[in-house]
Chains A and B, each alone.
Chain A
Amino acid sequence: STLPIQPTPSRHLQSIIKELQYTAKTVLENYQKEEKGVTERSSYRLPCLTSDPKPPNSLNSSAILTYFQTIRPLSQNQTLIDEIIRQLEKLCSQDLPKMEVSVPERSFERKRFIFTILKQFSNCMDQVVGLWIPKSS
């Protein structure tokens, strides 16, 4: 799908996105090291961008936030997840309806779900950085 043209976001917004990109990568690497054998399952989909071209609305942060609030109690490394939640909350518009995220019951499948969310979020942040942050800065 063609990506919408993005107006350049503020410096503050750019620093939030860079922070999220870094933390997302760290959490993913930690989880991969910790949970040997767990791989992505493509049937789990984390929403990333919306149709609104204008940052921060072009990032589907409230949906992503719900996913992270769901996986938080399931993960060992809650400090970094809390950091991601804290940053996402800065990008969220409060009035959006809360969505439900269902988590697999069996542990191994639940770990695949968590890993997939972390992987897709990291990819999402790389994509958003590419969109929002001019190469020069």
Chain B
Amino acid sequence: SALSETLLLAPESLKVSIDYKRQCLNLQWSIHSLLYHQKVRMIFQIEISRIETSNVVWVGNYSTTVKSNQVLHWSWESELPLECVTHFVRIRSAVDDAEFLESMPWSTWSAWEKVDVQDSLGPGQLFIYPQDKLMEEGSSVTICYISRSESKINCYLHGLRIHGEQLTPNVSTFTLRSLPFIKKTGTNFYCNTEHDKLLNGTVLYVSKVLEEPKNFSCETQDLKTLNCTWDHGHDTRLDIQPFQRYTLFESFSQEKKDCEKLNWCTWQVRQDSQEMYNFTLVAENYLRKRSVNLDFTLTHRVHPMSPFNFFHKNVNSTSAVVTWQVHPIGRSHTLLCQVELHHDGHVIQQKNVSVKLNGEYLISEMQPHTYYLVRVRCAYSDHFWKWSEWTDQEVTTLEAAPS
């Protein structure tokens, strides 16, 4: 068919640009010789050299379906900062289409595309790259310096002398492995002359690794507001990574909330009496994203506030009445309250009392003229989750009447 005459479809208009932030070479090219309606499965081979074209450092293939005059894109991440040395890129292609049984030969190589930033460095004796690198604890980085100084150069990491590898007469590289977190203002890598005069430096921002939130739990005191808490683990914030963000997503309502704190967040319960909740808590910083899930029934997570207005009355030598109030939970719900009588640090009586709003209980079989501690706590009767905190008070019985 028409295609067979133009089988050696060589890539054309190769352009290479640099993404400094991501330390990537971005390639784009096209296949002009395809007829406009044709779509062909092709494989592209890319070669990348450093310093000189003969010094190939990377070869790789990229397969895709190609249409005529389509601009193809591909990018390559370099472990060595792209500013350090000149890079060269070339590309060739072959048809890799099931329609053609025999394997198709490679096209000719494109011309080498040269990527050189050295002349745009500007004034200065020594240039160090990368600048202000953000990375996770335990990862590695390759640093280079480009020197215009005649002096011998010594480089240090946080005060420790580091030895590099010379790439060219004026370019040396340093591969630093498994770097630890040291401080929020970053770890200084710097180079001095042999007379210890500082030439230049960079800061490696090594952050703790963002951890998956642990002990993620939500509860409510009033069926109106959910209080969610979790352990955030490491604080990964740094000068140039100022946030470690937590977001709550609720799948039934499809609502979301950005939490202001590292380890807790509130969620307003909607009034449409949604019972089931399925939360995803997402932790995020510049380098990583983690999430955990939690689903529960709202009324199974009631942790009441502690009882209040806890008083005693009608105290005599052997009994006393205690009264208290509880915060309302929902429309009309019952709380199970537990009353304890303590003497000398021992629980000598314990009683469960059902309460709607106001609680009252007669404590009897007390000793005359004796000091007691009385305390009360409550839990949600419909479904026990947690006791409230205790509320307590002191009671001293009267002396027995003379017999």
Contact = CB atoms under 8 A, between A and B. Distances in A.
B185 A111 contact: yes
Q: Tell me whether chain B's interface is mostly helix, strand or loop, or mixed.
A: strand
A43 interface: no
Given A37-B198, A38-B201, A39-B198, A107 B156 contact: no
Interface string A24-59: 000000000011111100000000000000000000
Contacts, number: 52
Interface string B119-134: 0000000001001100
Contact of B131 (A37, A38, A108): A108
B183 A37 contact: no
Interface string B178-195: 000001111011101000
A106 interface: yes
A35 B185 contact: yes
A107 B159 contact: no
A136 interface: no
A107 B158 contact: no
Nearest to A38: B188
Interface string A103-114: 000111001100
Nearest to A73: B239
Contact of A108 (B158, B184, B201, B240): B201
B236 interface: no
A74 B189 CA distance: 19
Contacts of B159: 36-37
Contacts of B240: 107
Contacts of B190: 37-38, 108
Interface in B286-336: none
- 7 smallest CB-CB distances across A and B, nearest first, come from A37-B190, A107-B203, A108-B201, A36-B159, A39-B198, A37-B188, A107-B132
Given A37-B156, A76-B184, A108-B203, 16 more contacts: A35-B185, A37-B192, A37-B198, A37-B201, A38-B188, A38-B190, A38-B198, A74-B239, A76-B183, A106-B131, A106-B202, A107-B202, A107-B205, A108-B190, A111-B185, A111-B203
25 contacts: A34-B183, A35-B185, A36-B156, A36-B159, A36-B188, A37-B158, A37-B159, A37-B190, A37-B192, A37-B198, A37-B201, A38-B188, A38-B198, A74-B239, A76-B183, A76-B185, A106-B132, A106-B202, A106-B203, A107-B132, A107-B186, A108-B188, A108-B202, A111-B188, A112-B198
